[in-house]
Each structure stands twice: as structure tokens, then as C-alpha cells.
Amino acid sequence: MRQVVVVEPGGPEVLTLQEAEQPDPGAGQVRVQVAYASLNPLDNHARADRIKWNHPGFPFTPGFEFAGRVDAVGEGVDSALMGQRVATNGHWGGNADFAVVPAHGLVAVPDDFDWPLACCFSTCAYTSWLLVHSAAKVQPNQWVVVHSAAGAVGSLVMQIAKSAGAQVIGLVGGEHKFEFAEQFEPDAVIDYLRDDWPEGVKALTDGRGADVIFDGNAGARAPMNLDAVAPLGNIIYLGASAGQAPPVSPSLLIGKSCSVSGFVQYFHQAASGGAEVSATHQALADHTWRIPIEQTFDLSDIAEAHRAWEARALLGRAVIRVGGDSV
């Protein structure tokens, strides 16, 4: 079988596609014939050794989230799973024709979902819904700012926040991304590469600022969120695509009585009772909400996909075709 391997940290050039033996599932595991894998930001960060949380260690096969069909089960696993369409995330290995994952980590793929959607819904959709309804508890008429509004999670957060009755401002990296973000009907779109973007937020909110800011970028410009947030507001970090943010002085938080918090999907899922599942599956199936899957790469072009992500040249979500639609 084909398998992408990263032996040591580096740029996209360290991604090597090679032949490997097909793995066998152990006790409590299943083997999945992979159809599509999502190009998750963590694939890029793990390859470059920019993360410590949930890093698989070197060498490893990227593919943080993927979908396919169960074709073998290990000891203690219900054989009824054979042939089922499943998705999984957080277990790595999806950039290969076959991957072995714990059976408890599987998510059933709804019949209405095609394979590209199947490979990314369990992160994009669940994360977005939990950000709005669990982490921020967004209320009607609140002002919500969404960084990376032209990305998969950012665009879906805007849709869900609008459904919750919020007024939404999307931030994108350059005016060339305005048209893409505007299709999701935010109340405004602002170029966050401008140094005065917080002033734009305050102008739209009668000088008050945003009640909630969702930021998956962080980086050196993260302190600008403190200028854009309203008194009693909340800044929620869900990633650090632009690098680690500078430390935050408690005095700055005290001055606005605002808060800064972090987000990891799995902690909120543990407390949600599965509310995100029913809420997102139906809305995605009937196209009330949409994950914008904008580009598909073949597995043999994995380095090109990583280069495009590093260059911030991708919109929405890109996916990797592994076995493809015939799986």
C-alpha cells in the first residue's frame, strides 16, 4: 500500500510517499480503507514540529482526520462494523491507503454525506458548533468577530453564529478574500492585515467592540484582539496558525473585565452530551450550513498541498484523495 511518512521535522519536502505493508488491527482496533483525508492544520504543524499537544512523534504518517470504510476488525471489536462508512480524527495515519485506529474513535458517516464532506465534518462541524454554543454561548444580537473567515472553521462559525442571532464580522487576510467570505453572509468583512482592523470593529459596534472573538491564528498580532474586544467580552483561541501569541498582562484583562480562554474540541465534546452531532448533521445534510471544500489534491501531491497551506493560498478546506470515491 501507499503511505506518506515524515521521518524528521521540516518543510513539505520531508513528506515521502513510499510503499509499505498493509497493517493488521490489534485488539480493540479496526483497519480503515481510506477514501479521503482532510488537510488539517495539525498535519502541517506536526510535520514542522510546531506543536507538542497530540504530536504523534517521528517518524509518523500524517492524516489527522480522514474517512473510509472498515475492512478488518481486531479482537473484541463488533464484526458488524465491517463495511461501514466511518470517519475519525486525532489518531493520525490518514495519508495512507489503509490506517489502523481504535474502534472507540470512529464516527459513523451519515448516508447523505459524500466522502470529501465525510473526511472533515467531525472536526470542522463539531468544532464550529461547540465554539459558538459551548465555549462562547453566543446570544442573539451579540457582536462576534471571526478570524480566518475564509477558512473552513471560520466560515462555518460565521454561519452558526448567524443562526444563533449574532451580528458577525469576518476577518480575512487580504481584500482578495472578501468575496469568498461574503458568501456566508456576515454583517461585515475586514482585512486583518490592516493595523487598524480593531478600529473597524469598534466603528461597526458603536465604539464598544466585540462581545466574542474567535481566533485560530494567534501570532504576534494577537494583542490587537484586546483592543477590539468589548468590556466583559471573551477572546477564544482555538489554534496558533501564525505562531505563539505574546503573553497577556493581567492588567489588560482587568481594565476591560474581559477574558481570554482556550478551546480544544474534545473537552467540550465530553460535556456536550452529543448536542453538536444532531445539530450539525442535519444542517449540513439539508445545506443550511456548508463546509466549503474548495480544493482536492491526490495523495501523490501531498507536498504541494502542504506548500499551498503554508503559503496561505487555500480557501475553505482542502482534502486529499486517497482511495477516492470508489472506496
pLDDT of 35 reads: 98
> Is residue 295 in some structural domain?
yes
221 and 176 both lie in a single domain:
yes
Report pLDDT for 81: 98
Q: What is the Cα–Cα distance from 324 to 327, expressed in whole angstroms?
A: 6
Q: Which grid cell is 8?
A: 524528521
- Tell me which residue has cell 481594565: 255
Q: Is the peptide bond before 59 cis (omega within 30 degrees of 0)?
A: yes
In-domain check, residue 223: yes
Pair (14, 39) in one structural domain = yes
Short-list 26, 1, 43, CA closest to 302? 43
138 and 160 fall within a common domain: yes
Same domain, 28 and 97: yes
Clarify whether residues 60 and 140 are in a common domain: no
In a domain, 300, yes or no: yes
Helices (H) and strands (E) in the chain, counts: 11, 15
- Residue 327 resides in a domain: no
Q: Quick one: 106 and 139 in the same domain?
A: no
pLDDT score recorded for residue 244: 86
Position 106 in a domain: yes
Domain holding 49, by residue range, is: 2-120+291-321
Are 132 and 256 within one domain? Answer: yes
Model confidence over 164-201: pLDDT tens digits? 999 999 999 999 999 999 999 999 999 999 999 999 99
**Structure-block grid coordinates of residue 264:** 480544544
Number of domains in the chain: 2
Claim to verify: residue 137 and residue 237 sit in the same structural domain:
yes
Ranges under pLDDT 70 in the chain: none
pLDDT for the residue numbered 240: 87
Residue pair 4/96 in contact by the 8 Å Cβ criterion: yes
CA-to-CA distance for 245 and 254, rounded, in angstroms? 19
Amino acid present at 53: W
CATH of the domain at 75: 3.90.180.10
Q: Measuring CA to CA, how many Å separate 276 from each of 106, 130, 131, 237, 314?
A: 16, 7, 10, 19, 26
Is residue 282 a part of any domain in this protein?
no
Is residue 139 domain-shared with residue 9, that is, in the same domain? no
Q: Is residue 278 domain-resident?
A: no
102 and 18, same structural domain?
A: yes
pLDDT tens for each residue of 55-93: 999 999 999 999 999 999 999 999 999 999 999 999 999
Give this prediction's pTM: 0.94
Q: In sequence order, which residues have a C-beta less than 8 Å from that of residue 137 and are 6 or more positions away?
A: none
What CATH number does residue 170 fall under?
3.40.50.720
Helix (H, G, I), strand (E, B) or coil at 231: strand
The reported pLDDT for the residue numbered 51 is 84
Q: Do residues 151 and 70 share a domain?
A: no
252 and 185 within one domain: yes
**Residue 96 within a domain:** yes
pLDDT of residue 76: 98
